[in-house]
Amino acid sequence: GPIGGTVLYPGTGKSLVVTISPLTQIVVDSNVGGYFGPLLKFAGWDALEIQGKADRDVIIFIDGDTGRVTIEEAPLEPVNTWPLTDQLTAIYAKNEADRRNVSVVSAGQGSEHTRIGCLNVSWYDARRGKARVKQAGRGGCGTVLRDKKIKAIVVRYTGLKADSNDPADMKRIRAVGQRINKEIVELDDQQNRMRRVGTAHLVEIMNDYDLLPVHNFKYGSHPEVVKIHSKVWEKLFTQTHPDSCFYGCTMACSKGVDEFTLRTGPYAGQRVTVDGPEYETVAGCGSNLGIFNPPDIIELNFYCDTYGIDTISFATLTAFVMECYEAGILNLERTGGLDLRFGNAEAMVKCVEMIARREHIGDLLAEGVKRASQQIGGDAPYFAMHVKGQELPMHDPRGKLGLALGYAINEAGADHLTAVHDPALANPESITFKGAQPLGITEALSPLELSPRKARNYAVMENWNSFEKTIGLCFFGPAPRSFIQADEVLAAVRAASGWDVDIPDLLRIGERATNLARIFNLREGFGRKDDTLPERLFQPLQGGALAGRSVPREEFEQALTALYELKGWDPETGVPTRARLAELGIAWAADLL
């Protein structure tokens, strides 16, 4: 985005991967860190579009130092991200010191053989002497890369400086960055402890408020979560090195487990650095599968990343098949001999291999949870937790009803990055609003309220989060507090870009993007009938403080209608009105329908 790679402001190393999802057949965008986006920009390009397919494996090399782009055959290099990323970093760097100027985008054999493939985007960690990776996980982005026979995309750019993104006002962006960096350093330990444990700080919070998926979203909490909460990960994560996935990011939340000895699979016995696990992986490959042993979660994390398999889709998919197995819908013969009871970590590690190779039950699961449930039939579709074909992330909306709207209406299917930053927090009394409320959110609503008021809050936050993705800003820097810090983000945008804009202009950017995605999906046959939730979420939560709580169906439909009206969409069909599209400056989009 326009402020991507602004070294003086935290969280500007993000990129968006946009494609048609092999899971859903509709548009998907996946947000990812690492060095690729900024280095691509500094090499001379603000965007990269890849059309067509190669007939054999290739590597695309973008050399920002010479201004050349080459497409090279790649018959000998491995496919899987580990060790491919290390090899390509060494090959394309001029020397050891130059490795930090190289970024690799790759996807492994799991992306090649499934619809749930993720992309791995690298940065070179000079202190560890290793290339590390972040994931563009959702919607099968890695599947698309491998379908095009691309083994990797490599960019090199030497000479990164504080002003490489040429900020419009260097003095101002420096001051804005210093202000937010000071806040992060002073307040993070009191708030989220992202600098120590990354997103794993969410585990106990989600458990305390019955938001943590357990056993395929049957429950919202579990007594054994103490074995996998953030205090455990704090001891496992290396705390002696800063963990920024882009230069200058004070949040430094890209945690990793160093010197982890793999116990299974083709890399058994190897000592590796495992990036993460992030909250989504801890909750997905942990509590949702009934696994409460950190080394098992780390092992699953490593193999999903290495094979290029989205850990969110993998976790929701395998929790589904575990419930089918325990319900007697599947047996040992159909699972390829795997005893798929909840908590069986050994079976889960084998399941990753089967999915990555499309062997036995893996051939079915590689299709994603929606298609797998349809092929199994019977009661299986009830256990399939997805929206529009995309597997649910690890936030149960029965304990935070704003998520229900977010999951249902998101154009990519169930998505946590757009939906989860709803200002109805678990403890709304803790919210203090500053100044003139630049986002127009004037009250903190209970997480258990679902109403037109909640729809209004969600509409504002959806546009804001969409804008932040578009601009090139990370959700984990200033963004998690963006509804009270929109003025800080605005100051950064003005200083970096030189644009004479205000908060409504930024919201308009986000709203324009969501409306264009909506138009595309409508053209593909999706509409209000698809803006719904898995049936299980309309049923009572089992156990915990919120036992019996569900997404109230009637209130959900009323809030959805209110949200459509707020967005300027026809309340019956979900089609944006021509008048609203004209207000957004994209009236031409109506002619695509």
Rounded to whole angstroms, the Cα distance separating 71 from 68 reads 10
Nearest to 73 by CA among 62, 61, 83, 87: 61
177-208 tens-digit pLDDT:
998 888 888 888 887 888 999 999 999 999 99
Rounded to whole angstroms, the Cα distance separating 132 from 272 reads 10
Residue 517 phi/psi, 5° resolution?
Answer: -65, -40
261-310 tens-digit pLDDT:
999 999 999 999 999 999 999 999 999 999 999 999 999 999 999 999 99
Please say if the pLDDT value at position 3 is more than 50: yes
pLDDT value of residue 272: 96
Q: pLDDT higher for 75 or 142? A: 142
Owner of token pair 């039950």: 361
CB 310 within 8 A of CB 134: no
Model confidence band, residue 247 (pLDDT cutoffs 50, 70, 90): confident
Give Cα 37 distance to the centre of its chain: 16
390-439 tens-digit pLDDT:
999 999 999 889 899 999 999 999 988 776 554 433 333 333 334 434 56
Mean pLDDT of the 512-524 span: 96
Please say if the pLDDT value at position 44 is more than 90: yes
Q: What whole-number percentage of the chain has pLDDT above 70?
A: 94
Rounded to whole angstroms, the Cα distance separating 471 from 503 reads 13
CB 335 within 8 A of CB 325: yes
Q: pLDDT higher for 558 or 242? A: 558
Report which DSSP code applies to 223: G
Rounded to whole angstroms, the Cα distance separating 89 from 107 reads 15
Rounded to whole angstroms, the Cα distance separating 388 from 405 reads 14
Beta-bridge partner residues of 219: 214
Mean pLDDT of the 108-120 span: 97
Strands 150-156 and 102-106: antiparallel
Q: pLDDT higher for 107 or 76? A: 107
Owner of token pair 């090649």: 112
For 256-287, letters b (16+ CB in 10 Å) and e give bbbebebebbebeeeebbbbbbbbbbbbbbbb
Sheet strands side by side (includes 130-136): 68-73, 58-63, 150-156, 102-106, 119-125, 130-136
Rounded to whole angstroms, the Cα distance separating 38 from 540 reads 46
pLDDT value of residue 426: 34
Mean pLDDT of the 21-39 span: 94
CB 203 within 8 A of CB 197: no
Rounded to whole angstroms, the Cα distance separating 29 from 369 reads 19
Rounded to whole angstroms, the Cα distance separating 370 from 530 reads 13
Mean pLDDT of the 68-74 span: 96
For helices 81-92 and 294-307, give the axis angle rounded to 10 degrees.
60
Q: How many Cβ atoms from other residues are within 10 Å of residue 136's Cβ?
A: 29
Quote the tokens at residue 560. 């959805």
Cis omega (within 30 of 0) on the bond before 294?
A: no
Task: Write the secondary structure of 488-536 as one string of H (helix), E (strand) and C (coil).
Answer: HHHHHHHHHHCCCCCHHHHHHHHHHHHHHHHHHHHHCCCCHHHCCCCHH
Owner of token pair 């999906």: 521
Rounded to whole angstroms, the Cα distance separating 376 from 370 reads 10
pLDDT value of residue 438: 53
Model confidence band, residue 474 (pLDDT cutoffs 50, 70, 90): confident
Average pLDDT, the chain: 91
Model confidence band, residue 140 (pLDDT cutoffs 50, 70, 90): very high
Rounded to whole angstroms, the Cα distance separating 587 from 81 reads 43
Model confidence band, residue 564 (pLDDT cutoffs 50, 70, 90): very high
Please say if the pLDDT value at position 255 is more than 50: yes
Rounded to whole angstroms, the Cα distance separating 582 from 593 reads 15
Model confidence band, residue 319 (pLDDT cutoffs 50, 70, 90): very high
Q: Three-state SS for 16?
A: strand
Quote the tokens at residue 160. 């990164």
Helix/strand number for the chain, H first, E second = 22, 12
Rounded to whole angstroms, the Cα distance separating 134 from 118 reads 10
Strands 68-73 and 58-63: antiparallel
Beta-bridge partner residues of 261: 271
Q: Three-state SS for 320?
A: helix
CB 457 within 8 A of CB 405: no
For 195-226, letters b (16+ CB in 10 Å) and e give bbbbbbbbbbbbbbbbbbbbbbbbbbbbeebe
Mean pLDDT of the 40-52 span: 94
Give the least confident one: 18-27, 68-77, 475-484, 505-514. Answer: 475-484
Rounded to whole angstroms, the Cα distance separating 161 from 86 reads 24
Strands 256-261 and 271-275: antiparallel
Quote the tokens at residue 331. 């047996």
Question: Residue ranges of the alpha helices (H) in 358-481?
Answer: 361-365, 369-376, 380-383, 402-409, 416-419, 452-471
pLDDT value of residue 420: 55
449-453's contacts with Cβ under 8 Å and 24+ in sequence apart are 449/401, 449/424, 450/401, 450/402, 450/404, 450/405, 450/551, 450/552, 450/555, 450/556, 450/559, 451/555, 451/558, 451/559, 451/562, 452/558, 452/559, 452/562
Q: pLDDT higher for 420 or 494? A: 494
Is the four-CA dihedral 528, 533, 534, 540 of positive or negative sign?
A: negative
CB 276 within 8 A of CB 301: yes
Mean pLDDT of the 92-103 span: 96
For helices 402-409 and 553-567, give the axis angle rounded to 10 degrees.
60
Model confidence band, residue 475 (pLDDT cutoffs 50, 70, 90): confident
DSSP 351-370: HHHHHHHT-THHHHHTT-HH
Nearest to 82 by CA among 278, 269, 241, 308: 308
Nearest to 17 by CA among 171, 153, 128: 153
Quote the tokens at residue 58. 């290739």
Model confidence band, residue 484 (pLDDT cutoffs 50, 70, 90): very low
Rounded to whole angstroms, the Cα distance separating 482 from 465 reads 9
Mean pLDDT of the 438-462 span: 79
pLDDT value of residue 441: 67
Quote the tokens at residue 368. 């994603």
pLDDT value of residue 481: 45
